[in-house]
Amino acid sequence: MLTLADDLGHLSYVVTGDGPPVVLVHAGIADHRMWDALVPELARRYTVVRYDLRGFGESAPPAGPFRETDDLRRLLDHLGHERVRLVGASWGGRVALDFTLTHPGRVRTLALLAPPWPGYDWSAGMIAYDEAETAALAAGDLDAAVRVNLDMWVRGPARTWDEVPAHAADRLREPLRTSLVNQAAVGEHSQGPATGDLAAVGVPTLVATGGLDVTDFQDIGRRYATAIPGARLVEFPTAGHLIAVDAPAELLDVLVPFLDGLRSSGGR
């Protein structure tokens, strides 16, 4: 991976392909590798930029206050990309949306895959998950915290492990462990999500949910699709929370035409 150093540490990133830039922002239990199955097809049409959020993957944990939107802007400036197509999964979806709200002139299209909603009134199942993770980390049992997260975000509430795509948990266990190790530092220094009027989002927007995900995120997907003008809502019935991991081919079938639509109409 390549490295962009700054006074807070560094961001690690990788660039693949050629064409208009597409930036993929990973989920909060993953790193840039969660997009591996999508990259070969996307790179035939686009310059695909993947990076590890600060404190995830190979990016260093923050040494001071930071904003994810500032990190993304800095990376795009470094790469010379004035306007990009953004795709974000889970927490990465919120980062992508925040960037769009903060820098609207730098985004051409926006795809949100199961993003959270700040201040959402979470269900009992989500509260129980959070309490279990908190208890495991407080006890210093990192392995238990990893299992709690894999059960919630990879297996989900609607499947047995036998029904989960082969090796999904194995691929995510290492990046998840890294995120948990750095969670306290990221939480201490992150300046939180941006605020803005969703009705002001003026770019083509795709909102995706997994049919096997926690029902909270299906409700949240509908909220975003209603609040963002012209947004298109798509449900992937065979996917849990991480759509790009569970259903990459099905996601590409929707995502590629969505991204290509702007290019075919003259946008670059």
pLDDT of res. 191: 87
Residue 143 lies in a domain: no
Residue by residue, what is the 3-state secondary structure of the chain?
Answer: CEEEEECCEEEEEEEEECCCEEEEECCCCCCHHHHCCCHHHHCCCCEEEEECCCCCCCCCCCCCCECHHHHHHHHHHHHCCCCEEEEEECHHHHHHHHHHHHCHHHEEEEEEECCCCCCCCCCHHHHHHHHHHHHHHHCCCHHHHHHHHHHHHHHCCCCCHHHCCCCHHHHHHHHHHHHHHCHHHHHHHECCCCCCCHHHCCCCEEEEEECCCCHHHHHHHHHHHHHCCCCEEEEECCCCCCHHHHCHHHHHHHHHHHHHHHHHCCCC
Q: Is residue 208 part of a domain?
A: yes
Residue 46 placed within a domain:
yes
Residue 268's Cβ-count burial label (10 Å; 0-12, 13-18, 19+) is: exposed
User: Has residue 69 been placed in a domain?
Assistant: yes
Residue 262 is predicted with a pLDDT of: 57
207 is a domain residue? yes
User: Under the phi-then-psi rule, with left for phi > 0, alpha for psi from -120 to 50, and beta for the rest, what region is 267?
Assistant: beta
Q: Considering the domain boundaries, does residue 210 fall inside one? A: yes
Provide the number of structural domains found in the chain: 1
pLDDT of residue 267: 41
pLDDT at residue 50, rounded to an integer:
98
Residue 67 lies in a domain: yes
Length of the chain counted residue by residue: 268
- Cα 194–208–186 angle (5° rounding)? 35
Let me know: does 196 contact 101? Beta carbons within 8 Å. yes
pLDDT along the chain (268 residues), means of 10: 95 97 98 98 98 98 96 98 98 97 96 96 97 98 98 96 92 97 95 84 98 97 98 97 98 97 50
Q: Is 187 exposed, middle or buried (0-12, 13-18, 19+ CB in 10 A)?
A: exposed
Range of the domain at 100: 2-121+184-264
The widest CA-to-CA distance across the chain, in whole angstroms, is 55
pLDDT at 218: 96
CATH number at residue 207: 3.40.50.1820
Task: Write the burial class of residue 188 (CB in 10 Å: 0-12 exposed, 13-18 middle, 19+ buried).
Answer: exposed
**Residue 233 within a domain:** yes
φ, ψ (nearest 5 deg) of residue 207: -115, 130
Q: Are residues 257 and 232 in contact, defined by beta-carbon separation less than 8 angstroms?
A: no
pLDDT of residue 88: 98
pTM confidence score: 0.96
